[in-house]
Every structure is written in structure tokens, then in C-alpha cells.
Amino acid sequence: MNEEQKYKKATYHLWTFTASKMIAMLGSHVMAFGISLYILAMTGSAMSFATNMICSVLPRALVAPLAGYVADNFSKKRTILLAQAGTILTVGGLLLYTETVGLSVYAVYTATVFNTICSAFSGVTFSSAIATLVNPERLQRAMSFNQLSTSVAMIGGPVIGGMMYGFFEMDAFLMVNMVAYAIAFCLEATMNFNLYSTRGEDVKKEKMWEGLKGGFHYIKQQKVIKTIMWVALWINLFFSAIAVGGTYIIIELLKVKSTHFGFIEASGAAGMLAASLYFATRSEVKAPLRFSKISLLLLAGSVGLAVIPLITNFSYVAIIIFYLIIYFIFSIFEMGINMPIGVYMQKNITEEYRGRVFGLMETMAMSMMPIGMMVYGMLYDTLPAIVILPVTSAIIITLSLVLLRASILKEAHPEFYERKIVTESVTN
């Protein structure tokens, strides 16, 4: 295949995986919306709802390293298609159970666990495959489109689910999910996951334990990648202050109506969509880690500002407008952190280890979420929010300055800083 043919195929990949991801995620969000309402309507228990959330997070965190090993040692295309098929079969099994026995909470928990495991394998494998699907010059655009599809699904899923809930039974939500994943399966079956692969045909497969140890050893040897993983770990821990505190402050302390809070959360998805479009249309960031550091510092500052309505006499309308803007900004800065780092990792992690690195990173990041939620849940019960958020903001700023210090940035982008020194010397 010559370069022109590869470029055309990469263009096809760019649009095909965006469409497949958007359709699959849309089906997933519609079903998740329906299941959430079903659990609350049937049990009236927040604990039952929380249990289903745990079933959708914990299994993924546990199996992500294994998914990374599989992505690095077996066919990426086959792994993704098997995972998608697993999702279709799981939801189909839940639909059959519902039609014959009746839907139960425990059946939902079981299906959620299996869906989460399948999602871990397809998600980690897809993340490790983006650099082999498109040419290096379009990596940022590909990742932006990937995030754009997620943003559209986050906005559209609850809207479609809300319209369906009043007119259809639970089995309709399950069928929407199955159809969406079936379409995604057909689209992904047409893709060449080795288009820009640099691996040879005769790469020896590692045994599972050796492969996992190899992934840890590779990360240990890569100073910049190791730093990025530590940043991801601490970000997911400390930004639980907003995941937990945002809802608590807006609804419990400021007494904002749940319908208006829905608009506030939607503004976050809109911010993600706007940032995705920005990165899809601009040239690639020259110094990704430097860009991410600036975005992280701005996001940390925004966290501290989120307490302003608690210490001022804002009107009800002003409170809503303030948090609409804050949540929009949060998402933009979050994308400013994730997108450049994601492109950097795609380009600088050796293909043989890419799946394991993404898998281990996902495990580290996701394992911090429940810990952070538990810690901040206790903190908000004992300390005022006007203390928690500014202190958290200061901690994140300090961590950003320490972890992403100048020596790390220079090691990650030596050519950028050398060019900058040359330019300054010429100017002077």
C-alpha cells in the first residue's frame, strides 16, 4: 500500500471510528440513563444506585492492566470486536432474562459488571490503537474527534433517554444499546488496525505475568511517562472535591433546583464539545506537557473560585449563571490537560508497550476515584466547603509546579526549549 492509499485509509478511519464511538457511546448512555431511573424507581435506595456505580467502575479498574497486556500481545481488531460482541451478548442476555423472568436489580448488577469488563478491553485497546489507525500528523485531530463523540453522547444520551422513559419499557433501552453496538461492530470490522503499525510480523508473545511486569519496568524507565501517571493519579484524587462537592454545594447549600442543576452539568459537556472542536481544527500543540501544565494551573484556580457564591449575596439567577460558566470552564481546562498529554503519549510510548501503559494508567486513575469520593464525602460532612475547595486548589497548584517542573518539561520537549533559547538569543 503506497502513502496516498494509506492516507485515504487513515481518513476513512478518522471518520469511521468517530462514528462507531459516537453510536456505541450514545447507546450506552441511553441505557445507563434508563437503568439509573429503573433502580431508583424500583428500590428508592441511594445505596442501590451507588452499588451499580461501583459495578461500573471497580471491574474496569481491576481488569485494565490485563486488557493492556491483551492489546499489546494479540490482534487489536479481534480484541475490540470480541469485546463489542460481549457487550451485545450481555445486554441480549439481560433482555432475554427480562422477557422470561422479569428485570431485577441483581440481574442489572451482573450485566453491568460484564459490560464494564468488555468496555475495559475495548476502551484500552482502542486507546492503544489510535496511533496505528491514523498518520502521526493527524493524531491530535483523531483524539479530538474521539472526545467529541463522547461529548455528543453525554449530551444526547440523557436527552434521548428522558424522552423514551415516559413512553417505553426497560426492554426498549436494552434494544437501543444492542442496535448501537451492532452498528459499531460492523463499522469497526472494516478498519485496518495495523495501517501505521511499526511492529514486525514475528513479534514473540509474552506470558501474561512477564508481560505485566514488562509494562511496569517500561514505565519505570520512562521518567516523563512516569511523571504523567503520577499527575493522573493525584488529579483524579483531588478533583473528587468537585465531583462530590459540586453537587453538594449547588443543591444542598445553595438550594438550586435539580432541573437547573441538570443545565449546569450539561454546560460541562458543552465545554468538552467546544474544546474538542478547538483541538480538531488547530495545529498540533508544540509543547504538550507545558500546555497541560498551564491548563492544570488554570483548572486548579477555578476550583478555588467555585466557593464565591457561598461568600457573596448572589441572586438565584446569578448563582446558576456563575456555575454554568464554571462548569463550562472546568471542561475546557480538563480537555486542555488531557488532549495534549494523550497525543504526547501516543507518539512517545513504544507500540509494544502502549496497551499496558494505558491499562495501568487507567487502573491508577480509576482506583483513585472511589477513594477520593469517600475522603471528600467525609470532609464535606465535617468541614465547611469554603475551606475545602481553596485548600484543594492550593494542593493541586503545588503538585503541578513540583511534578511538572522545568526539568521534566525540558526532558519532554528538548527541541522546543532549545528553539526558544536560540530565538531569545537572536532577539537579544
Residue 376, Cβ density class (10 Å: 0-12 exposed, 13-18 middle, ≥19 buried)? buried
Mean pLDDT (whole number) for 327-352: 90
Give the pLDDT band of residue 207 (cuts 50, 70, 90).
confident
Same domain, 226 and 119: no
Residue 428: the pLDDT is: 53
Residue 295: the pLDDT is: 94
How many CA atoms within 13 Å lie on the side-chain side of 318?
Answer: 7
Within a 10 A sphere around the Cβ of 97, how many other Cβ atoms?
16
Same domain, 188 and 226: no
CATH (domain of 177): 1.20.1250
Mean pLDDT (whole number) for 335-348: 90
Has residue 268 been placed in a domain?
Answer: yes
CA distances (Å), 113 to each of 57, 60, 81, in order? 9, 9, 18
Same domain, 179 and 220: no
Does the structure show a pLDDT above 60 at 425?
Answer: no
Has residue 148 been placed in a domain?
Answer: no
Q: Would you state the cell numbers that stand for residue 398, as one nine-digit string? A: 503545588
Same domain, 392 and 337: yes
Give the contacts of 79 (CB within 8 A, at least 6 positions apart): 70, 71, 121, 122, 125
pLDDT in tens, 117-165: 999 999 899 988 888 999 888 888 888 888 888 878 877 877 787 778 7
Residue 37: the pLDDT is: 74
Has residue 164 been placed in a domain?
Answer: yes
Same domain, 36 and 73: yes
Comparing 7-21, 103-117, 191-205, 269-283, which segment has the lowest mean pLDDT? 191-205
Phi, psi of 201 (to 5 degrees): -75, -30
Q: Cα separation of 359 and 68, whole Å?
A: 5
Same domain, 227 and 107: no
Say which amino acid occupies 165. Answer: Y
Same domain, 353 and 281: yes
Same domain, 73 and 105: yes
Average pLDDT, the chain: 86
Is 59 within 8 Å of 116 (Cβ atoms)?
Answer: yes
Same domain, 187 and 314: no
CA distances (Å), 170 to each of 30, 34, 112, 164, 402, in order? 11, 7, 15, 9, 50
| Long-range CB contacts for residues 254-261, cutoff 8 Å, separation at least 24 | 254/309, 254/310, 254/319, 256/316, 256/319, 256/320, 256/323, 260/320
Has residue 277 been placed in a domain?
Answer: yes
Give which of 101, 104, 123, 124 is closest to 112, Cα–Cα.
Answer: 104
Has residue 104 been placed in a domain?
Answer: yes
**What is the separation of C-alpha 303 from the centre of its chain, rounded to a whole number of angstroms?**
20
CA distances (Å), 362 to each of 48, 229, 324, in order? 25, 9, 29
Domain containing residue 101? 1-139+156-193
Residue 393: the pLDDT is: 92
Has residue 210 been placed in a domain?
Answer: no
Give the pLDDT band of residue 422 (cuts 50, 70, 90).
low
Comparing 10-14, 166-170, 297-301, 356-360, which segment has the lowest mean pLDDT? 166-170
Same domain, 244 and 330: yes
Same domain, 178 and 237: no
pLDDT in tens, 211-261: 888 888 888 888 999 999 888 888 888 887 887 788 788 888 888 886 787
223-238 helix and 240-247 helix, angle to the nearest 10 degrees: 20
Mean pLDDT (whole number) for 91-120: 90
Does the structure show a pLDDT above 60 at 394?
Answer: yes
The pTM of this model reads 0.81
Does the structure show a pLDDT above 70 at 419?
Answer: no
DSSP-derived secondary structure for 122-186: HHHHHHHHHHHHS-GGGHHHHHHHHHHHHHHHHHHHHHHHHHHHTTS-HHHHHHHHHHHHHHHHH
Same domain, 251 and 162: no
Has residue 229 been placed in a domain?
Answer: yes
CATH (domain of 379): 1.20.1250.20
Q: Would you state the cell numbers that stand for residue 271, as one nine-digit string? A: 465545554
Has residue 206 been placed in a domain?
Answer: no
Does the structure show a pLDDT above 90 at 185?
Answer: yes
Tally of domains within the chain? 2
